């Protein structure tokens, strides 16, 4: 009888242990954005700002957030519409890689088009809104809502969005893990303060740039100088921009590994990929003969006098994520 009693008690105890809930899973992080593309708002200095969030189907745990900045004077956050712009391809990449994607909308410029108030002091017709505080508050809000750290946050942009990405890296580099830009050079005449002094904090960076970009000249000069008034300000050359980042990331004496390829022989030219390896690497894609458009294999941009020819040998969104994912925690 005693043995039976002890055996029964043991069974009861084991059964109780098995049914005890795992308290570590009682409060999982709830992603506060619906699956698919959703419109969201945040208030910055009493002004309501708009941003889209793309949550891939089945995403239950967020390890990385990629924020994508559109160019100036263009479509704004409609670049998130699938198939309309090379930056919309980030949605396809997110579906596979399972990260959260954010598309903020810039403030209006002198022509009433969304853009970014970056560090150019001589950008007369550009946006004048509180865009840097907007992006910073958005990044902080995402980290708080998703219980993430700066190691989970990534930022990329094209053209005016590229210069905005540079500007953000001057002021708030500690809040992100890595950046990537398409068709962007550093300003020749930056605003005073952090825009002029920059930052000594290194950041991994990926850069793509067309050698025949008429809107963001590879040799430096006036930005999008359509009317000849140079009212969009001036930038330094692409080589000077690269040298800045090599120095900032401690890569000045690093020899790059170089590969060349020409996947689409019907576009403007081939690609030369230069990788400067280190703790804070720099990946530089030289798009020979290409212009201002974001490079893509799937979403094509027409060749125009204003933008030049598109490179179609690489998929920008794919290359950016391949660069970012090596820093994912």
Digit-coded pLDDT (tens) for 5-53: 443 434 333 444 444 444 344 446 899 999 999 999 999 999 999 999 9
Q: When comparing pLDDT for 1 and 131, which is higher?
A: 131
Quote the distance between the C-alpha of residue 165 and its chain's center: 7
Question: Over 50: is that where the pLDDT of 178 sits?
Answer: yes
Q: What is the mean pLDDT of residues 197-220?
A: 97
pLDDT value for 28: 65
Task: Indicate the SS3 state at residue 152.
Answer: helix
Q: What is the mean pLDDT of residues 92-107?
A: 98
Task: Indicate the SS3 state at residue 284.
Answer: strand
**Of 34, 40, 74, nearest to 57 (Cα)?**
34
Question: Over 90: is that where the pLDDT of 195 sits?
Answer: yes
**Of 274, 270, 324, 268, nearest to 292 (Cα)?**
268
Q: When comparing pLDDT for 24 and 65, which is higher?
A: 65
Cα gap 183→252, rounded to integer Å: 22
Quote the distance between the C-alpha of residue 268 and its chain's center: 25
Collect all residues with Cβ–Cβ distance below 8 Å to 3 and sequence separation of at least 6: none
Q: What is the mean pLDDT of residues 89-93?
A: 98
- Residue owning tokens 């009212």: 231
Percent of the chain at pLDDT above 90?
88
CATH topology of domain 29-327: Rossmann fold (3.40.50)
- Name the residue ranges covered by the structural domains of the chain: 29-327
Cα gap 80→70, rounded to integer Å: 9
Task: Indicate the SS3 state at residue 285.
Answer: strand
Per-residue confidence band for 226, with pLDDT thresholds at 50, 70 and 90: confident
pLDDT value for 227: 84
**Lowest-confidence range among 26-40, 66-80, 238-252, 303-317?**
26-40
Question: Over 80: is that where the pLDDT of 277 sits?
Answer: yes
Per-residue confidence band for 86, with pLDDT thresholds at 50, 70 and 90: very high
Question: Over 70: is that where the pLDDT of 89 sits?
Answer: yes
In this prediction the pTM is 0.91
Which sign, positive or negative, has the C-alpha torsion 161, 94, 209, 166?
positive
Cα-Cα end-to-end distance for the chain: 57
Collect all residues with Cβ–Cβ distance below 8 Å to 294 and sequence separation of at least 6: 85, 86, 87, 158, 182, 183, 208, 301, 310, 316
Q: When comparing pLDDT for 227 and 2, which is higher?
A: 227
Q: What is the mean pLDDT of residues 257-261?
A: 98
188 to each of 47, 79, 119, 176, 219, how far by Cα in Å?
30, 28, 10, 25, 12
Q: What is the mean pLDDT of residues 72-97?
A: 95
Per-residue confidence band for 329, with pLDDT thresholds at 50, 70 and 90: confident
- Residue owning tokens 């969304």: 114
Question: Over 60: is that where the pLDDT of 116 sits?
Answer: yes
Give the mean pLDDT of the chain: 92
pLDDT value for 247: 98
**C-alpha angle 44-47-48 in degrees, rounded to nearest 5:** 90
Q: What is the mean pLDDT of residues 137-155?
A: 98
- Residue owning tokens 């200095």: 45
Query: Quick check: 261 and 271 in contact, CB under 8 A?
Result: yes
């Amino acid at each position: 009888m005693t043995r039976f009693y002890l055996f029964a008690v043991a069974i009861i105890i084991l059964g109780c242990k098995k049914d005890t809930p795992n308290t570590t899973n009682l409060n999982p992080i709830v992603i506060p954005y619906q699956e698919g593309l959703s419109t969201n708002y945040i208030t910055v200095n009493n002004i309501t700002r708009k941003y889209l969030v793309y949550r891939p189907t089945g995403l239950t745990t967020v390890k990385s957030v990629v924020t994508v900045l559109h160019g100036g004077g263009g479509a704004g956050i409609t670049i998130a519409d699938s198939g309309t712009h090379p930056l919309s391809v980030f949605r396809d990449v997110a579906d596979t890689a399972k990260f959260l994607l954010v598309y903020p909308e810039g403030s209006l410029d002198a022509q009433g088009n969304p853009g970014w108030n970056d560090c150019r002091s001589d950008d007369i017709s550009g946006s004048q809104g509180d865009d840097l505080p907007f992006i910073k508050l958005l990044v902080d809000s995402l980290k708080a809502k998703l219980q993430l750290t700066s190691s989970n946050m990534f930022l990329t942009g094209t053209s005016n969005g590229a210069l905005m990405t540079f500007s953000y890296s001057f002021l708030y580099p500690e809040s992100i893990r890595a950046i990537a830009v398409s068709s962007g050079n550093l300003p020749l005449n930056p605003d005073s303060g952090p825009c002029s002094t920059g930052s000594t904090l290194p950041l991994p960076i990926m850069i793509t740039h067309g050698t025949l970009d008429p809107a963001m000249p590879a040799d430096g000069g006036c930005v999008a100088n359509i009317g000849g008034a140079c009212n969009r300000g001036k930038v330094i050359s692409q080589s000077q921009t690269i040298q800045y980042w090599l120095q900032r990331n401690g890569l000045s004496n690093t020899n790059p590994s170089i590969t060349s390829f020409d996947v689409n022989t019907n576009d403007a030219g081939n690609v030369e990929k230069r990788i400067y390896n280190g703790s804070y690497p720099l990946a530089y894609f030289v798009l020979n003969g290409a212009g201002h458009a974001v490079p893509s294999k799937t979403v094509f941009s027409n060749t125009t006098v204003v933008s030049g020819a598109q490179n179609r040998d690489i998929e920008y969104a794919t290359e950016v994520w391949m660069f970012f994912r090596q820093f994912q925690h």
